[in-house]
Structure 1
Amino acid sequence: MKAVTFTSILALTATLSACGSSGGPTGGNPTYPESSSSSNTPSSSTASESSSSSSVASHCDTMNTVVGFASLGAGTTGGAGGNTITATSGTELAAALSAKGSSPLTIFVDGIINADNSSVERFDVKEMSDLSIIGVGSSAMLDGIGIKVYKSDNIIIRNLTIRRVDTGEKDGISLEGPANNIWIDHNEIYNDLNSDKDYYDELVSGKRDIDNVTISYNYLHDSWKTSLWGSSDEDNSHRRITFYANFWENASSRMPLFRFGEAHILNNYYKDVSSTAVNSRMGATIRVEGTVFENVQNPVVSFYSAEVGYWDLADNVYDNISWSNPADGDLIAGPGADLSATISYTPSYSYTALAGSETKSHVTAYAGSGKINECLPTP
């Protein structure tokens, strides 16, 4: 694995400077901060401030580390080393994307973007490279409008709230290949369950030849159709996706629905899932590790496709899970109370897993938008 460092190219706030990093991504293993005991804490204010600064730096190093497949190849650095621009309306965001050119670019989204201040039905990241879209603070939102990444590489999307997308393809964030080295991190994406199940589409999804993608620290909730990878049983590209430290809550199915390729579901937290969580199909190979399933029906299965998918399981926590056959009776594989692995698989990158017993508290503390403002670059 090649470690890639986000160079210090943006003027950061004093708080971010205290992190001891540029607020951008690095590739490699995160180092989780350890608590200091009172007996080891220096008594002087200077030593105390130094310890606090060190703790913040360690925290930010962790949150700005790209874990998983997006760290492979040339890494995922987005708009590092390029210009910056701030968009306060959908018209400005669309214009910035349209004018991007070949140089790296970071677009900061500041405020609420919706149909009233936009001239497009979705924001296209098309045929471009080296781009970051980063929400400012705790209130950057795409309200009713989503993002599509197509024929693009080295793309970062962080710290946005995206909700109830009812225009364009009705996806929160969608990827369509050819596309590679995409990092979708610390966003909140949701629909609602009061609508018809087909009114909205996916929260985050991908199809065709996508590779080296990491979906991390997102809060994904209130959705019928949540995360589809592979649009049909004929969409046989060998996708490689890491789902790391995401919080999936109050949703029906597809978390993810994954066809072909490889996926690593590392330290995720599932809560209140009514139909299926992980659905491995058409020969997909998935490792589910250090993950918590709480009040979940069918946590890991292979339903609805002509061929089964496979899974490896390690150090997961199951709390009040249940099993049921598919509604149409077409049971392919699972469910089974023994939750045995059907394949042995380890992804092709180095990583450090949290223990399954620690996942819930970690994910609920940090997943979603507005959770790591001190670690992000600012305009």
Structure 2
Amino acid sequence: MNNSREEQLLLADAARIHGEAEADTGSLAIRRAVQSGIEQGGWESWRRRLQRGSFVGLAAAALVAVILFFLPLLQDSAPQPEAPRAAVNWGGLEMFKRLYPFDHEAPTLDSAIRHNYVQMINQSAGAEGYQITLNAVMADENRIILLYTAKVTAGQEIYNISSARIKDLSTGFYLDSEDQIGAHDERTGPEENRIYYGRGVISLDRNKPFPGKLEADFQISSVDPGKLKDPKTGTIAKDMHYSPRLHISFKLDPKFKQQPTIIVEPKEDFILDGIEMTLAKVEISPLLIRSEVVIKNESDVTWQNRQKTFLAATGDELQSVTKDGTVQLKMSTGLGNYEGYERRFASNLLDQPESIKLIMRNDNGKEKYELSIPVWPE
């Protein structure tokens, strides 16, 4: 089943809302987001291994009602990422470790930065006392990750980035946003609430041409000093102030399209709360791991069974097994579809994992099923 354009937009919006809900820790310092060159040498031989294992992926069909129904449950059950590796220095992006404790994409960023899989942009735009800097981007066939910094002059405090989107200048259309999170600068003093660090995720369709020239489009929201402490802030329109739309154009580094998606089809069957299920597909790219689980027997594909199986393993997690140890990769989003469900996880493909282990848990943390999946095709 092919999704209509309207369904695709609703799914993207639902995923974005879910990501923003997860980023809300309730502290004043972390305000709720409104609305979401690999090193040369050894990499070349490894990239050829990747290319042997790639092929065109599935255009997954998703039911809008399913994801909208289960978003609150995902918010409550989703676990938090691990603390950053102490030995990893993010260099000019060190300030974005501010987001690490509550960002499900933290392991992805950590892996990408360690492997120099980053394009530094460091371009700014400003107007009327507001300034946005697009610090860096990273991308693969499936998504773009943005890192950006907002600032406002004295007399205002940043509430959040109310909008962060990307336009493909070759088509004139905006790309679908997945989620967006952010937090204020940790330093105390007059600039504490006037600097805001953000991370956004943009979806790509790898069956379409890889984008080249892009335009980032931001809008910053702010309030008068002291208003951030008011629990009603964000609900009273007259208290909010907004920047003009701030635009930054850049060309995406073509190195990002050289990393193909590995597609593994385990076809592993298992029982989930009395329903026969199949782990049909796992897609692995530098910035994303996506798993697809379907109900095995067509006669069992009912609304009730889709609800039941989606809820049965709400604590899904991945463990990536590398030569240096095991890395826990947390789930960022869950989507329901006609035959079952899809989960999206952080990725550390650049660390060349030997295998990944999919662990399904219920909302009480009890393990229900475990599957080990080799990454590299035979």
Calculate the TM-score normalised by the size of structure 1: 0.22
Calculate the TM-score normalised by the size of structure 2: 0.22
Q: Between the two structures, name the one with larger relative contact order (CA 8 Å, sep ≥ 6).
A: 2
